[in-house]
Structure formats: C-alpha cells, structure tokens
Structure 1
Amino acid sequence: MTASTITGAADLVQEALEVYREDPAAVAALQGYAKRLAEPLRIAVAGMVKAGKSTLLNAILGEEIAPTDTGECTRIVTWYRYGHTPRITLYPVEGEPRRLPVKRVDGRLVFVLGNVQSNEVDRLDVEWPSPGLRDMTLIDTPGIASLSGDVSARSTSFLTPEDTPSEADAIIYLMRHMHASDLRFLESFKDTEAGRSGTVNALAVLSRADEVGAGRIDSLISAGEIAERYRRDHSLRKLALGVVPVAGLLAQSARSLRQSDFEALQLLAAMERAEREKLLLSADRFLRAAGPEELTTAARASLLERFGLFGIRLAVVLIRNGFAEPTPLAHELARRSGLDPLIDMLGRQFQARAEALKARTALVGVAALLRTSPREGTGHLAAALERLQVNAHEFRELLLLATLRTTGVSLDPELANEAEGLIGGWGAASHVRLGLEADAGPEQLAAGARRYLERWRAVAENPLTDRSALDACRVVIRSCEGVVAQCAVQLAHQPA
C-alpha cells in the first residue's frame, strides 16, 4: 500500500468530517473509519454453532483466553486487542461500560458477567498482552444458524450490515462441511458494502479436521484432500481466498501444552502397543480402563478434554518416535494440526494487505455516506473518492482478483492462473507473487519480475488478445513494475 493512498484515504475522511460536522450520526461513523485506519487489521472468526471458533482463536493466540464452553459469553461478540496489561470491558446495550475482573482458572481466562444476560451486552472488549494481537484485532462472533434467533442476528448484523461496511476487514470462516448455509453467509458477506467494492476477503477453514477420518492418525491427510476439493469448487472459490484444514482442539492444546499433559502422554507411550491400542479405541474405554496405574481418572479426563483421541494418539506416536521433550512435541503437534499453514496464510493474504483492506473499508464507508446522506458541498468528496478508487493500484489488484475468481477474464486458463499469483492471489510478498523462495534477494526478485513483465507486455500487445483482457494485463504489468521498482530501491541502499 503506497503512502499516498493511505494519506489520501485519511485526508478524505477528514474532509468528510468537516462537511458532515453538524450530523452527529455521520460524524460518529467517520470518526470510526479514521480510528480503523490507525488500528491493526480487524479479523473476525465466524461460522456455524459448534464449528470451533473460540478454540481456533485460542490456538492462533497461543493462550486459552476465549471461552469454549456453551455459556453466556459464547453468545456475545468479543473483541481481542493488544494491551500491555490484561483488561476486560463490558459494553452494555444500555448504560455505561464497566470493567470485569480478570480471573484465570486452571490456566484459562474466565469472564465473570455476574447477573448480566448475553442479550443485555453489546460486546466484550478484551485487552491482552499477546504478541499475536500486535498486528491484528481478532473478533469472536456467536454461532450463525443458532437455535436462538437473537444469537444468530447478533453475528449477521455485526458482520453483514446493510448500508455500512462490516465491522470486520476480513473473515476467517469455519465450516465442518461445505453446506448451502455456509455459502449463503459468505455470499452475504461479499455482498456487504465492503464486498461490493470488489474484494474477496474471507478465508475458509475446514474445522475439526481430525473428525474427518474418525480420529485416525491420517485424518488430516483426508481432510487436506477434501479442503483442496472445496478450494477448487466454483461456488466457494469466488467467496474465499483458500481453504485450510485445521484440527482446532489439537492446535489449541499444542500451543498451551502443560508439563502435566506431557508426563501423562509419556505414561501412555510407555505402554505395550497392544494394550495402548485397546485403551485408545474409544473415549469411554480410555476413561474407564485400569492402566497405567499412575494415570489418574482426572488426568485421563483432562487429556481427553484438551487433546481428544486424535491428539492423544498422535502425541503418543510422536513421543515414541523421538519427541522426548515438551517443547519439540508441542511444536510438532501444532504443525501437524494444520495451524502453521493457517497462520502463514493469514500473514500472506490479510496482514500483508492490511493497509489496503483498511483503506478500502474507509473509502467504502465514505461512499455509503455520500449515497445515503447526500447534501450540497460534497461534489469534491465524490471526485476525490473516485480518483482514489481508480488510481490506487492496490484496489485494482483486489478488484481483478475478485474478477478472476468470479466472472473470469478472456485469458487462457494458464495465463489467468499466473495473473492471479502475480497480483498477490497467493500472498502479497514479492517472492510469493513470483513463485520464488522466501530468501530470494532483490537481484533475483528483479530478474524474475522482469521476465514476467516482458511476457505480459507481449500478451497486452498481441492483436489477438481480447480487449476485455487488456485491463487485466495492465494491472499485472503494473504489479510487476512495482516489484522491479521496489527491488531497485533495495539495491540502491545496499552497501557497496
């Protein structure tokens, strides 16, 4: 995102504040957009009831601070922001905000609402000193398609408002299977004001992926094949940037592995194979079996709750194959849970585009205000808005990405796929765009970009290229030129 585009979006919001200074509602909305430009990217975690949203959020943060039970708190929109000290603030539907006590039980954060019911709460705001929250704000939302209409309405009105941008800049959407209801929600999110700006800004997660193979050790391999099939599905491909399988419970427990967990798993790994396999046939058998003697009933229940049978089986196999210390075991369990690819994709698709996504939200908000509250003296705002939307290359990339994944362009399939990569469809970093290794230097990046630049200039100049594809060619060419220019700056600053 160029500084001129960021500055332009901020300046436009300030100009709009001056024009609408006598309209309290408009001022509040515009101040919100200005605040969003200065804050980390907002990423909401959404999905149907029991999709594992809070569990995945905990896994991403590496701490158990989001409630995963079925209590009142899971019915409330909860924001998780970075803060130097832990703090929880309750914002009621009516009345003034108030602090809640910060209480941890057995390592987990507990929200003490007192006698307040979820329908009386607008949102909870949690500030936490987690490094993962420095660059993004995570928003946990109630389950969509809940038996309670009020609970579902809370999520849909928050994520898909009718006439304003969504409160979230991007969404991680969890689904256990690809149902029509999942597609309907993603379609509605894409059809919000932000979505109509021509952006695909949702990432799908095949959650509870270990259940795909009934808890077998190879469950995630099967889940990966299903996720790839979903990713290629035409209906989902136009709504989500990718599909990642994740065993959320295992990911959460791996990121917060305790010494007591490790010692209990060691006891299981030391058993004779035949006896251990009998023990792990079912959850009921695992809880009721007699051996090993040192493993108490409470320890068994804790392991089952935290890891599930899949996680226990996998951890035992890893311990027997040389992961004899807690930290290496935790890292390997997290890797095998599918969490690492998800975090990598969050970085490549969302955080690398954070400024563009935030600026887009602000511009869409100003556009909605001009349309719904027209007044004299806004002509210069509309003109400035149009210039930013047309001239900002980042927005043109986002628009072309959405077009490639929906209606398509008149390009050979191989070229269309190449274009998707070069404009950042698989990640915004230069090496990802060019299909090079992460350690590629500026000279190698520049050489790769020039090769693609020559190729796409030839496509654009070819008289057989459809006129409808020329705009796509220009965007790709501009993206390649941007990489070359960036590399030139890096090379100029290298020591002689």
Structure 2
Amino acid sequence: MIQSGIAGAAELLRQARELYQWDPAALAVLDELDQRLAGPLRIAVAGMVKAGKSTLLNAIIGEEIAPTDAGECTRIVTWYRYGHAPRITLHPLTGEPRALPVNRIDGRLVFSLGELQAEDVEKLVVDWPSASLQDLTLIDTPGIASLSSEVSGRSTAFLLPEDAPMAADAVIYLMRHLHASDVHFLESFKDTAAGKSGTVNALAVLSRADEIGAGRIDALISAAVIADRYSRDENLKPLALGVVPVAGLLAQSARTMRQRDVDAFMALARLDRNQREKMMLSVDRFVRAGGPDSLDPELKASLVQRFGLFGIRLAVALIRGGIDSPTELAHELARRSGLGQLLGTVDSLFQTRAEALKARAAVVGLQSLLSGSRSGQAAVLETALEQLLAGAHEFKELKLLGLLRTGGAGLTPGQSREAEQLVGGRGNLPHQRLGLSPEAGLDEIARATRDALDRWRHIAENPLLVDSAAVDACRVVLRSCEGILAAMPVAR
C-alpha cells in the first residue's frame, strides 16, 4: 500500500540512515532533511531591490527585527524562527557559527557583524519569541537584480540551487509592478525548485499597494483591481497561485504602533478639515506646515517615514469615524493594509498543506543525495522514492496544480478551473475546495462533494476523453473528492 507523503518520506529517510551510517557528510544532510520534515513550514520572502521584503517580514512577525535600511545585513540571507529567548547566530562561510549581541535601538533590532563583511557570511539565524513564528519560519533574502552582482547572486544561489532542494518550502514574491524581470525569476524558480515535483508554490504580493493610488485613502481599492488583473495575466498565472495587494509600510507600522503615534493621529483628527487636507497635499507640506502645536516637524517626519501619507490619512479618517481605542485603531489599520488577506492566503494555500510541501522537499533532497551513490541499496531507495512521488496523493495534487496552471492537463478551461479548486489550488480546507462559505455545515459539504464526484465521474467516463493527461487529472480530482468525504467526522 502506498504511504502518505509525510509518512513515506520519514520512512525513506530512516532507511537512508542505515545506508549512509558510516558517511558523516551524508548523515549531516539527512539530519537537515529530518529537521525540515519535523519543523515549521519555511517561507522565503523574495523580490527585486526596494520591493519592501524586510518591511513586510516585520509586519508578519509583528516586531521590527528585520533591518529595512540599505546596510550590510540586507545583503545577507537571514532566517527568522521561533525561539524561547532572543538570539542571533552568524554562520560564516568558513569557521564555526558565533553568537552576535542582541541590541535594540528605538525599538528596532540592530545587527553588528563585528570584523566580518557581508560577503564573508553564509547566513544569519534570528531566534525570536514571537507567536507568529511558532508555525512558520521566514527567510529574508537580498534583493534580486541588485546593482551588486554579488548581492543578487547570493539570493539566486539560495532560492535557485543547482543540485539541492531549495531551503524554503514556498515563496512570497514581492513586486511593485509586474515586470519582465519578475516573470523571469518566477519561471526560473518553478523550473528548478518546484519543477522537480511539477508544482507551483509561489504567491505574488503587490507590496507597495498604497503607492498605486498616490497615497489616496482609496488606494488599496485601485491596487486590488490591478492585483486581480495580474493574477489573470497569462505570463504570471502559471507561476504564482495568486496576487495579493498589501501596503507593507502601513502593515508594519500598524503592528508596531506606539502611543505617540496614536496621540499624533488624535491631534490631527481634531484639526479643522480644510487645514488638515491642505497639510496632506504632499509630504513636504505635511512636515513643514504649522499645527497642531503638539506635532513638531521631527515627529511629523517620523509619521511619514513609518506610515506614509496613506496611513496617516487612513488613521485620521478612522478616528473621526469613531475609533478611539489604540488597540482597535492598530487592528483596523493592519486589516486595511491588506496584511490580513495575505496571512489568510498564506494559511489556506501553504499552511494547510504544509506536511505535503515539507515531505516533497525532503524527497527532493534525498533524491539529490542518492544520485551520487552507486550502491545497490541506493538504487532500491531511488525506486521507492519514485513510487512515493508517483503514488502519494498529496504529491499528485501538487503536480496536477502545476499542470492546470500551465494548461497541460488536457481539460477544458471550465474543467481546469473546477479541478484546480477541488485539489486545493484556492485553499486546502473542504469548504474552500468546494467553493462554499466558511459557515457551510457538514450536510452541505457532503452534498457538494457528492455532486462533484458525480460530475467528475461523468467527465472521466466520457468516451471522447482520450488525452492521457486529462484521464490522470480526473483520477486525482476524484480521489480528492473521496478524501473529503472520508475525512468527515460522521459517515454519510
């Protein structure tokens, strides 16, 4: 009987340990794969220079611990993972890892590399007691297409390794607009990292969405329209599972808002409307204009730096609309920044199938290790690996998602859209697979699943369906529907 992806991968790693029990280097690789299988989902945050990667990462974590300036540390791949106490570990290219001091200035974490330069460092690992990191390890990467080929190459080598699985299970890819360079990277990412299992595991983010509307209070509405258009773009659709608009700067600042920020917004809300609107015609006018008395130019400049004019306008509008609690204001600003939608999308597309994504990475890593061995036992394991990839339903779903995104499943456009949803391409929970509301009850889910089963059995039994890819796609969809019914808490 074919094992599930996670159980099958764990068993194959155990067998590989017996094969390589006298090989320390191979055992080190297996240790890493075991840790990967047992640990949280790993998501890399990637994008071109100035796309706002570190800012968004801080927003997700809820603290300003990722450097957002153009310093040395933004040129280094940095891991952020859960730890019971703050700790920063530097891993040099040569030599042993060393601890760095944990220093915060004005609330922000500051990295000091000592005598080392960025090019001497393989990676930084930041352990931090944030609840957001308990089920998720985030990896901040240097900007792609940097003016420095060394910086750009560092990200490319990490995200697109030539002879090993990528160190992340999925990628959040940030872009300010859709450019050919974004498509080129995502094509490379899919071909090398995800292509080994034929899946798509990238989510695109329109990361400075408030700039699209020139900082107007309705900027996110305009950004959502553009994000929807990008998600249907024929070049991008095969490479990313969706496009989410986020005002990254506002998201970060809302999650790290201070009392002095709230006080400043309250003072602005009390101003005469005409005076306030004239102040906010531009950044320069806002900083230099007189009033309110409690806001000096330095504080105004800080507000602009942290929230942008969009965030300031929105905060004032919310206060004038009746919000007077700092906590409620912070939550509403974060929600309206698009951060909640992003986190929800990450959860439905990646977290709910984390075990399958981690198992796929472990299998790809084991394949790379075995490819250099000539022993007969290695050949046996390679055969078992191929059987697992071909038989485990989680991997079949991931592979079919990739085919559906590229039009290679041999189905009609309507069938492809439904198949993509049923195998979890728009969320892995039963109601998401079936296109139902989150409040759908068991009876409604059961009826919808049976309807889908009948529909896809009819498609599969159509004598005109001769394309082998389409036949295989029908089998995967049917198995997914059967899996929904089998997982329901009561027999129906």
Indicate whether the TM-score tops 0.5. Answer: yes
Once the two structures are overlaid, the 10-residue window that deviates more, 319-328 or 367-376, is 367-376
User: Deviation at 1:322?
Assistant: 1.2
User: Deviation at 1:380?
Assistant: 1.5
Which structure 2 residue ranges, 5 or more long, are not aligned? Answer: none
Local SS of the residue matching 1:244: strand
Residue correspondence of structure 1 range 207-356 to structure 2 within 5 A: 207-356=207-356
User: Deviation at 1:319?
Assistant: 1.1
1:407–1:22 Cα change, 3 Å: farther
User: Deviation at 1:210?
Assistant: 0.6
Local SS of the residue matching 1:462: coil
In structure 2, C-alpha distance between the alignment counterparts of 1:19 and 1:305, rounded to whole Å: 56
Once the two structures are overlaid, the 10-residue window that deviates more, 457-466 or 206-215, is 457-466
User: Deviation at 1:150?
Assistant: 0.9
Local SS of the residue matching 1:377: helix
Aligned match of 1:53: 53
The answer on whether the counterparts of 1:81 and 1:125 sit within 8 Å (CA) in structure 2 is yes
Local SS of the residue matching 1:162: coil
TM-score between both structures, scaled by the size of structure 1: 0.96
Aligned match of 1:491: 490
User: Deviation at 1:450?
Assistant: 1.0
Aligned match of 1:71: 71
Aligned match of 2:87: 87
The answer on whether the counterparts of 2:400 and 2:409 sit within 8 Å (CA) in structure 1 is no
Once the two structures are overlaid, the 10-residue window that deviates more, 239-248 or 438-447, is 438-447
Does 2:111 align with 1:98?
no
In structure 1, C-alpha distance between the alignment counterparts of 2:450 and 2:337, rounded to whole Å: 39
Letter in 2 for 1:466: V
Residue correspondence of structure 1 range 329-408 to structure 2 within 5 A: 329-408=329-408
Local SS of the residue matching 1:85: coil
Does 2:480 align with 1:476?
no
The answer on whether the counterparts of 2:76 and 2:123 sit within 8 Å (CA) in structure 1 is yes
In structure 2, C-alpha distance between the alignment counterparts of 1:188 and 1:374, rounded to whole Å: 30
Q: For this pair of structures, how many residues does the alignment match?
A: 490
Local SS of the residue matching 1:237: coil
User: Deviation at 1:405?
Assistant: 0.4
Cα deviations across residues 129-160 of structure 1 (Å, max 9, x unaligned)? 11111111000011111111111111110110
In structure 2, C-alpha distance between the alignment counterparts of 1:374 and 1:257, rounded to whole Å: 58
Once the two structures are overlaid, the 10-residue window that deviates more, 272-281 or 190-199, is 190-199
The answer on whether the counterparts of 2:8 and 2:388 sit within 8 Å (CA) in structure 1 is yes
Letter in 1 for 2:490: L
Letter in 1 for 2:455: R
Local SS of the residue matching 1:60: helix
Does 2:39 align with 1:39?
yes
Local SS of the residue matching 1:210: helix
In structure 2, C-alpha distance between the alignment counterparts of 1:350 and 1:210, rounded to whole Å: 26
In structure 2, C-alpha distance between the alignment counterparts of 1:278 and 1:133, rounded to whole Å: 42
In structure 2, C-alpha distance between the alignment counterparts of 1:247 and 1:198, rounded to whole Å: 32
Local SS of the residue matching 1:295: coil
The answer on whether the counterparts of 1:193 and 1:368 sit within 8 Å (CA) in structure 2 is no
Aligned match of 1:198: 198
User: Deviation at 1:21?
Assistant: 3.6
The answer on whether the counterparts of 2:397 and 2:476 sit within 8 Å (CA) in structure 1 is yes
Once the two structures are overlaid, the 10-residue window that deviates more, 180-189 or 192-201, is 192-201
User: Deviation at 1:24?
Assistant: 4.0
Cα deviations across residues 434-488 of structure 1 (Å, max 9, x unaligned)? 112223333332222111111111111121223331111111110000000111x
**Which runs of structure 1 show a deviation greater than 4 angstroms over 4 or more consecutive aligned residues?**
none
User: Deviation at 1:22?
Assistant: 4.2
Letter in 2 for 1:249: L
In structure 2, C-alpha distance between the alignment counterparts of 1:230 and 1:134, rounded to whole Å: 32
The answer on whether the counterparts of 2:3 and 2:392 sit within 8 Å (CA) in structure 1 is no
User: Deviation at 1:28?
Assistant: 2.5
Aligned match of 2:62: 62
Does 2:163 align with 1:163?
yes
In structure 1, C-alpha distance between the alignment counterparts of 2:337 and 2:425, rounded to whole Å: 24
The answer on whether the counterparts of 1:220 and 1:245 sit within 8 Å (CA) in structure 2 is yes
In structure 2, C-alpha distance between the alignment counterparts of 1:198 and 1:45, rounded to whole Å: 21
% identical equivalent positions: 64
1:193–1:143 Cα change, 3 Å: closer
In structure 2, C-alpha distance between the alignment counterparts of 1:247 and 1:100, rounded to whole Å: 32
In structure 2, C-alpha distance between the alignment counterparts of 1:102 and 1:183, rounded to whole Å: 38
In structure 1, C-alpha distance between the alignment counterparts of 2:314 and 2:193, rounded to whole Å: 44
In structure 2, C-alpha distance between the alignment counterparts of 1:485 and 1:305, rounded to whole Å: 52
Cα deviations across residues 232-283 of structure 1 (Å, max 9, x unaligned)? 0111111101100110000001111111101101111111111111111111
Does 2:134 align with 1:134?
yes
Letter in 2 for 1:306: R
